[in-house]
C-alpha cells in the first residue's frame, strides 16, 4: 500500500498521569500462566484506533470520558492496575495487585484527521506521537501494564492509543477489556462479560514433561542468524493489501490437478513466507521458519476456557524448511507445511509448551530466519465504539521486528481484504515488493532466486 510523505504535526501533550481503580480493589499477588510467561511475550504491543467527528457527541470530551471509563474498568480488571514482579531463580512472573494504576496521556494535534489519509494504517508514521513513550514506562518488570493516550484532532475527531504489556493478555483479552470499557462509558454498572483470571488452566503440569517437538524454539547456529534483526534501524516496513483479485492471482499458482482445497489464509501465509525467503536471498542450506500463532480457544482443542478469560491463550508452532527447497518447490509445498503445523495442534501440544517454559527457562522464539504471523482478523479492534461510532481504522499499527499482523480492512474501493505490514532490510524489501506485485498482477510471473555462491535460478511461486 503506497503512502505519501508524513505530515509534520504540531502536538501538545499534557503531563502523563496515573489512573487508578475507582474503588478499592484486592491487594494480592497473582501468578501468570506459563503460556503468559513465555520469553517472547515480554514486550509491549501498540494498538491505535481513529474516530471521526460525530455531531451527536458535540460537547462531550473523549479524553474525560475514556479516562473516567478506565478508572471504572480497572475495578473489574484490577490486576492491570498492578505491577509485574519476577521471582528468582526461575524468572516466574507474578502480578503484584497494588493498585498503582495505568498511565494516561492527554494530547492535542493541530491537524484534521482527514489530512492524514491512508497513513493512519500500518505502518503508521505517527505512532510515536500518538503513543508517547513516557520515560521509564516501557519495561516489563515494575512498569504500568497499560499506557493510554487520547489525542484530539482539530476537526473534532480523535485517536485512542493503547500500549500494553503482552504478558498479561492476548488480542482476545484486550477486546474483552475494551468492550467492558465502552460499556461502562455508556452507563453500564458492570461489564456484560466479567473478567476471569484462572491462569492455572494454562500453567505447567505438576510433573512437567516436554512431549512434543517445538521447532518454534529451535536454536539453529547460523553465520547469518537474522543479523539485520539486531538493529531495527536497518529495517523498513511496507504494508500489502490482499483482496479477491490478489488471492485469485495467488490461487492461479496452484496446479489445476491439485484436488486438495486450501483455505485462503493458509494460501496467503504460505505465499508470504515463500516470497519473503526468496527476497532475503539466503543460502539454500539455511533453515527458515514460519511461526504461526494458533488460538487455544479454537473449537478443535479441548480446553474449556471461561468466556471471560483474558490471559494469553495461544501457542506458536513453526513450519521449518531449507531455504532452497522452499524457494524452488511449488507453492503447495509451503502450504502443506503450514497445514501440517495447524493439524498437529491439540491439548497435549499446549501442555507441552507450558511445561517447556518451566523445564527450559522461559525460552524465546527462534531468531533463525523466523517469520512470525499473528492473525488479528477477528481481534475486533475495528469494532470498538466509545460513543462516536466505529473507528475508521483500528488495529496494531505496524509490524514489530519479524512479527507481522494480519488485519481486516476495506481498501479505497470498498473491497474487503487483509492488510499486512512486512518488515525487511531495504534491498530485500525492494525484491519482495517486486515479487508480490508481479505475482498478483501477472500470475505467470516466476521470480528469480538469488542465493550465495550459486548461479541464479528460477523458482515457481
**Residues catalogued as catalytic:** 166, 385
Burial code of 8-40, b = ≥16 C-beta within 10 A, e = fewer? ebeeeeeebeebbbeeebeeeeebbbbbbbbbb
Cis omega (within 30 of 0) on the bond before 326?
A: no
Task: State the Cα–Cα distance between residues 128 and 116, nearest whole angstrom.
Answer: 15
Q: Which residues pair with 149 in a beta bridge?
A: 105, 161
Q: Count the neighbouring beta carbons within 10 Å of the beta carbon of residue 142.
A: 12
- All three cell numbers of 206, joined, read 505438576
Task: State the Cα–Cα distance between residues 270 and 337, nearest whole angstrom.
Answer: 8
Write out the chain in H/E/C secondary structure. Answer: CCCCCCCCCCEEECCCEEECCCCCCCCEEEECCCCCCCHHHCCEEEEEEEECCCHHHCCCCHHHHHHHHHHHHHHHCHHHHCEEEEECCCCEEEEEECCCCEEEEEEEECCCHHHHHHHHCCCCCCHHHHCCCCCCCCCCCCCCCEEEEEEEECCCCEEEEEEEECCCCCHHHHHHHHHHHHHHHCCCCCCCCCCECCHHHHCCCCCCCCCCCCHHHCCCCCCCCCHHHHCHHHCEEEEEEECHHHHHHHHCCCCCCCCCCCCHHHHHHHHHHHHHHHHHCCCCCCEEEEEECEECCCCCCCCCCCCCECCCCEECCEEEEEHHHHHHCCHHHHHHHHHHHHHCCCHHHHHHHHHHHHHHCCCCCCCCCEEEEEECCCCCHHHCCCCCCCCCEEECCCCECCEEEEEEEECCCCCEEEEEEEEECHHHHHHHHHHHHHHHHCCCCCCEECCCCCCCEECCC
**CA dihedral sign, ordered 219, 223, 224, 229:** positive
- All three cell numbers of 188, joined, read 453500564
Amino acid at each position: 500500500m503506497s503512502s505519501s510523505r508524513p505530515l509534520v504535526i504540531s502536538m501538545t501533550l499534557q503531563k502523563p498521569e496515573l489512573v487508578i481503580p475507582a474503588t478499592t480493589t484486592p491487594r494480592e499477588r497473582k501468578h501468570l500462566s506459563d503460556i503468559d510467561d513465555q520469553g517472547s511475550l515480554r514486550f509491549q504491543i501498540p494498538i491505535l484506533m481513529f474516530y471521526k467527528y460525530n455531531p451527536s457527541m458535540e460537547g462531550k470530551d473523549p479524553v474525560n470520558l475514556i479516562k473516567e471509563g478506565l478508572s471504572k474498568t480497572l475495578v473489574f480488571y484490577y490486576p492491570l492496575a498492578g505491577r509485574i514482579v519476577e521471582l528468582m531463580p526461575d524468572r516466574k512472573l507474578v502480578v503484584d495487585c497494588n493498585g498503582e494504576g495505568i498511565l494516561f496521556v492527554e494530547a492535542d494535534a493541530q491537524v484534521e484527521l482527514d489530512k492524514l489519509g491512508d497513513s493512519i494504517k500500518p505502518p503508521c508514521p505517527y505512532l510515536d506521537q500518538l503513543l508517547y513513550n513516557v520515560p521509564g514506562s516501557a519495561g516489563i518488570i515494575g512498569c504500568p501494564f497499560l499506557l493510554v493516550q487520547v489525542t484530539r484532532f482539530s476537526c473534532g475527531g480523535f485517536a485512542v492509543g493503547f500500549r500494553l504489556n503482552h504478558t498479561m493478555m492476548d488480542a482476545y483479552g484486550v477486546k474483552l477489556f475494551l468492550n467492558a470499557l465502552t460499556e461502562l462509558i455508556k452507563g453500564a454498572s458492570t461489564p456484560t462479560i466479567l473478567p476471569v483470571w484462572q491462569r492455572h488452566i494454562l500453567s505447567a503440569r505438576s510433573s512437567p514433561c516436554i512431549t512434543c517437538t517445538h521447532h518454534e524454539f529451535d536454536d539453529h547456529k547460523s553465520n547469518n542468524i537474522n543479523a539485520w534483526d539486531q538493529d531495527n534501524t536497518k529495517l523498513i516496513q511496507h504494508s500489502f493489501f490482499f483482496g479477491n483479485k490478489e488471492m485469485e492471482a495467488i490461487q492461479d499458482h496452484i496446479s489445476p490437478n491439485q484436488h486438495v482445497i486450501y483455505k485462503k489464509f493458509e494460501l496467503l501465509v504460505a505465499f508470504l513466507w515463500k516470497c519473503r525467503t526468496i527476497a532475503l536471498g539466503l543460502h539454500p542450506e539455511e533453515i527458515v521458519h514460519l511461526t504461526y500463532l494458533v488460538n487455544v480457544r479454537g473449537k478443535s482443542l479441548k480446553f474449556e476456557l471461561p468466556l471471560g478469560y483474558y490471559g494469553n491463550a495461544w501457542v506458536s508452532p513453526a513450519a521449518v524448511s531449507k531455504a532452497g527447497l522452499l524457494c524452488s518447490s511449488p507453492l503447495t509445498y509451503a502450504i502443506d507445511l503450514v497445514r501440517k503445523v495447524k493439524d498437529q495442534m491439540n491439548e497435549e501440544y499446549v501442555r507441552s509448551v507450558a511445561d517447556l517454559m518451566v523445564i527450559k527457562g522461559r525460552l524465546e522464539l527462534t531468531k533463525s530466519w523466523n517469520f512470525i504471523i499473528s492473525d488479528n482478523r477477528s481481534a475486533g479492534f475495528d469494532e470498538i465504539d466509545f460513543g462516536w461510532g466505529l473507528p475508521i481504522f483500528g488495529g496494531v499499527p505496524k509490524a514489530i521486528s519479524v512479527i507481522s499482523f494480519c488485519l481486516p480492512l476495506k481498501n479505497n474501493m470498498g473491497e474487503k481484504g487483509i492488510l499486512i505490514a512486512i518488515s525487511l532490510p531495504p534491498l530485500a524489501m525492494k525484491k519482495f515488493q517486486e515479487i508480490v506485485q508481479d505475482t498478483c498482477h501477472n500470475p505467470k510471473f516466476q521470480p528469480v532466486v538469488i542465493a550465495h555462491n550459486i548461479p541464479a535460478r528460477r523458482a515457481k511461486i
